[in-house]
Structure 1
Amino acid sequence: MDRSAILRLLHSATSPSASAAKRRIVRFWHHSDYERFLLEWSNFDMPSEDASEAVRHLPSIEAFSLPVTSELLAIAPANGIWMENDPCVSVHATVHKPVAREKGIPWGVQEIKAPLAWSTTTGHRVKVGVIDTGVDFSHPDLKQSLGRGINLLNRGSLPHDDNGHGTHIAGTIAAANQLHGMIGVAPRATVHPVKAFDHNGSAFVSDIVLGIDWCVRSGMDIVNMSFGMKTRSKSLLTAVNNAYNAGVIIVASSGNDGKRKSIDYPARYPQTIAVGATNRLRRIAPFSNRGMHIDVYAPGDKILSSWLRGKYNEMSGTSMATSHVSGAIALLLAHRPGLTPTDIKAVVKRSMLPLRGTKTPRLTGELDVLRMLQAVER
């Protein structure tokens, strides 16, 4: 790859007209080309502070995300460059409504039998990276449950939640305010918020790749991914693979389109644990994607959890189901440290309770914490 091609890409990405170009992830056929691009980029004289934000380095997958015009896209193969879109991804939650403060244990936490396991394990010292919209650091139910995180949208700020979704997920995983508020699945686990999603609940794939990379480098045991998209991304798959090979368990939501044979990415990748949602009747929730790609179902309908400004909200979605599974795996890992992602997935699938109203009860089932703990004793 010659220097002029690199400079054309950088000049185009940082020009005033770049905002009209589509953001793409640029990867290289040869490692030497990546090194050359990295060198040119580090020496490149950015025209403004905004321009420097336009080019994102994704070191874990040896790539860059930047705006690329259609004209430059056409010359990519001749220069040893491989490009794919850097699309927007959305969180997997449907309607939500404020609720009055409700003390005690939410129905989903009870349903998966988490309280029956707390005499054995509470998730102590297990680190859960939550790639989401951030978290409400002042929420009384989360104060004991939060560890260091990162804000990928504004590196100088804490990962504060300006949407609510991330705070809701964190509460189900590890809320710990038994006397005055709610309690989550693994109340002694630590949630590390990774803010990759904006106030609308949207993120670029490149932000998620950076979030996964941070989780791997920061020693997370579990990564909760309550979001998805319809199209596959090689860059996202590479990042998921890197985490999987590093021993990090990735739990991902299947999507809320009510599809019977298809689920969203990254849940569809075999390196993740794909989660569908059930309701109080222990049936698959109508909105949940389902089918052979789902690894386990968990409560996801009308789930009460923490919200912004110390409040509570009821939400539905496969997002909510995913947080129950992340919490359950935290309980299992605290009890049996050292289990690999492959081990965990096998235990989850071996210990499911058959669902009501399904024709293939042996192939699919609902999360059950007690059965999980029993399964590792065998």
Structure 2
Amino acid sequence: MKKTIIGCLVIFALLTPLAAAKATEDMSRVIVVFKDKPKAEDFAFIEKCGGKVKRHLKLINAGVIEIPAKAIEKLKKNPRVKYVEPDIRVHAFQEVVPWGVDRIDADVVWTFGNKGVGVNVCVIDTGIDYTHPDLDDNYKGGYDFVNDDLDPLDDNGHGTHCAGIIAAENNTEGVVGVAPGVNLYAVKVLNRFGSGWLSDIVAGIEWAVDNNMDVISMSLGTSTYSSALEEACNAAYEAGLVLVAAAGNEGDGDPSTTEISYPAAFDSVIAVGATDEYDNVADFSNTGEYLELAAPGVNILSTMPTYRVWLNIAYGVSEDYAELSGTSMACPHVAGVAALIIAANPGISNVEVRQILQQTADDVNGDGWDSAYGYGLVDADEAAGRDTLPPTISDLTPADGAYVNSSNVTISAKISDVSGINESSIVMLFDGDSVIPDFNSTTGVVSYYAELLSDDLYSVYLEVSDTVGNTANASWNFTVDTNPPTAVTNVT
């Protein structure tokens, strides 16, 4: 009843041959989904059938159990049970042995002040090296469903690489991710070999819903359909989350054929294929009717754990930073852009985020949606390149608190903005009265000449907007004092 890969086989190898054979023959790991919220008597029934509850999946009214294979049919006949399905092994999409931010213009979005700050992004994978100098400041927490603890430290490397593509910090060292200001969370559901139980994926999605995530990135999958996994993805989507998944690496180079992978193939999930630096679809990338977007996925440089992990040992991948290829690397590019869209549009729904991603994608083939690129190559600038930075006001003259020994004063400030200044928006109040200043668009200096001022304290207020509506203001005071100091005489 179990679908396993190497990681599972290694675990079984630790048992004696007889014990391993008996465990495989007698017990099966399944997901039992009930018609409504399970009750104590439901789990009592499971125990009566010889089963043991391994985990509760509240998001889909289910439990993960180990039960004698011969008792499964009895379990299915229980009128309280909606369905029973095998808890299969799901794996990280293997790198096709071992550029992207610039190609999708994420760096252009940063110039508008948008780096994804405040958006919660969850990487469901092998964990994250949260001690990495390019990830440590953005990392905010997570959970390890492999070991059932609060320490989702990566022992494979796959999750750390994906996390770096999304959220590596813009800190002058190493690499920088698509959205270097997000809140980064790790949910470890895959072990050191990149293998994990499907039920742990469901639990990870449930954790993301319960912990107010905005975006889920899943560079993992299976070719086996699961109702439980689809229900979990649908529930998360209905809860408002953006779900992004790698399309898979079983492509045959023919976009007219469909290679299925789940969760990417579910309607509630954005399926992402991989392209190279020439915008060609990667030979390994899955294609087909469920593909939604494409993103860079060949020779992508990103973070790796700063300690030895499985990818270093088994494949010779470098520590700290490495280039890897796969739809696993394409998926986090889209997850990062989704975060930038959310940051640029507070309160936006996940449905609207998805529409923006589709409508702004670079239609490489020029024919609208197709099975090779989906709606096209994700474009961060088009999707989220909206200026959210207010203009900068600097070089206040006279300086705040200054004393001026002249009755004629030039009041000025320098203003700048990446989108340009809307000259008609400039407002200046001098001592509470509206005045019309001059503006030099070349130098960015706004100025007003005040004359015949009496000795007194004066206030200045300046307000300015850029061409997209962002506004800034500044207030300062200065004192006119034209009387020379009085000489002190008769000092004794």
State the distance in 2 between where 1:93 and 1:360 align.
Answer: 31
Query: 1:350 touches 1:375 (CA, 8 Å); kept in 2?
Result: no
State the distance in 2 between where 1:135 and 1:164 align.
Answer: 8
Deviations 1:97-148 (A, max 9, x none): 3xxxxxxxxx201000000000221000100011100011211111111011
1:214 aligns with 2:207: yes
CA RMSD of aligned residues (A): 2.5
TM-superposed CA distance for 1:55, in Å, is: 1.9
Structure 2 match to 1:58: 57
TM-superposed CA distance for 1:34, in Å, is: 4.3
TM-superposed CA distance for 1:157, in Å, is: 4.6
State the distance in 2 between where 1:244 and 1:132 align.
Answer: 19
TM-score with structure 1 length normalisation?
Answer: 0.85
Query: 2:174 touches 2:321 (CA, 8 Å); kept in 1?
Result: no
State the distance in 2 between where 1:176 and 1:280 align.
Answer: 23
TM-superposed CA distance for 1:78, in Å, is: 2.6
1:112 aligns with 2:121: no
Query: 2:146 touches 2:196 (CA, 8 Å); kept in 1?
Result: no
Which of the pair has more CA radius of gyration?
2
SS at match of 2:179: coil
State the distance in 2 between where 1:74 and 1:362 align.
Answer: 44
Deviations 1:242-300 (A, max 9, x none): 11111011001110001532331111111111101000110111100012211110000
Deviations 1:341-369 (A, max 9, x none): 211111111111122xx484554310111
1:78 aligns with 2:77: yes
Alignment of 1:11-30 (within 5 A): 18=23, 20=25, 21-29=27-35
Structure 1 match to 2:235: 242
Structure 2 match to 1:318: 327
State the distance in 1 between where 2:161 and 2:300 align.
Answer: 9
Question: Which range is displaced more, 264-273 or 56-65?
Answer: 56-65
Structure 2 match to 1:254: 247
Count of aligned pairs between the two proteins:
344
Give, as a single letter, the amino acid of the residue that structure 1 aligns with 2:184. Answer: V
Structure 1 match to 2:297: 300
Question: Which range is displaced more, 226-235 or 368-377?
Answer: 368-377
Give, as a single letter, the amino acid of the residue that structure 2 aligns with 1:207. Answer: D
Structure 2 match to 1:333: 342
Residue from 349, 352, 356 that aligns with 2:361: 352
State the distance in 2 between where 1:63 and 1:319 align.
Answer: 29
Deviations 1:56-100 (A, max 9, x none): 221221111122333112223332332111111111232343xxx
SS at match of 1:183: coil
1:87 aligns with 2:101: no
Deviations 1:326-352 (A, max 9, x none): 111111111112222211111111111
TM-superposed CA distance for 1:372, in Å, is: 0.9
Alignment of 1:152-191 (within 5 A): 152-191=145-184
Structure 1 match to 2:379: 368
Deviations 1:21-70 (A, max 9, x none): 231111234x37644224677xx79x9xxx97x62221221111122333
TM-superposed CA distance for 1:153, in Å, is: 1.6
State the distance in 2 between where 1:185 and 1:153 align.
Answer: 28
Query: 2:108 touches 2:385 (CA, 8 Å); kept in 1?
Result: no
Give, as a single letter, the amino acid of the residue that structure 2 aligns with 1:303. Answer: I
State the distance in 2 between where 1:338 and 1:39 align.
Answer: 44
Cα separation, partners in 2 of 1:362 and 1:195, compared to 1, 3 Å: closer
The structure where strand makes up a greater share of residues is: 2
State the distance in 2 between where 1:77 and 1:38 align.
Answer: 14
Cα separation, partners in 2 of 1:177 and 1:375, compared to 1, 3 Å: closer
SS at match of 2:70: helix
Give, as a single letter, the amino acid of the residue that structure 1 aligns with 2:127. Answer: G
Give, as a single letter, the amino acid of the residue that structure 2 aligns with 1:25. Answer: I
Question: Which range is displaced more, 358-367 or 239-248?
Answer: 358-367
SS at match of 1:293: coil
Structure 1 match to 2:261: 264
State the distance in 1 between where 2:171 and 2:386 align.
Answer: 28
Cα separation, partners in 2 of 1:359 and 1:374, compared to 1, 3 Å: closer
Structure 2 match to 1:203: 196
Q: Which has the higher contact order (CA 8 A, sep 6+)?
A: 1
State the distance in 2 between where 1:276 and 1:206 align.
Answer: 25
Unmatched runs of 5 consecutive residues or more in structure 1: 1-14, 98-106
The structure where helix makes up a greater share of residues is: 1
SS at match of 2:381: helix
Give, as a single letter, the amino acid of the residue that structure 2 aligns with 1:92. Answer: F
State the distance in 1 between where 2:275 and 2:172 align.
Answer: 28
State the distance in 1 between where 2:37 and 2:223 align.
Answer: 33
Give, as a single letter, the amino acid of the residue that structure 2 aligns with 1:322. Answer: C
State the distance in 2 between where 1:301 and 1:35 align.
Answer: 50
TM-superposed CA distance for 1:375, in Å, is: 9.3
Give, as a single letter, the amino acid of the residue that structure 2 aligns with 1:87. Answer: I
Query: 1:262 touches 1:293 (CA, 8 Å); kept in 2?
Result: no
State the distance in 2 between where 1:372 and 1:276 align.
Answer: 18
State the distance in 2 between where 1:208 and 1:32 align.
Answer: 20
State the distance in 2 between where 1:108 and 1:253 align.
Answer: 15
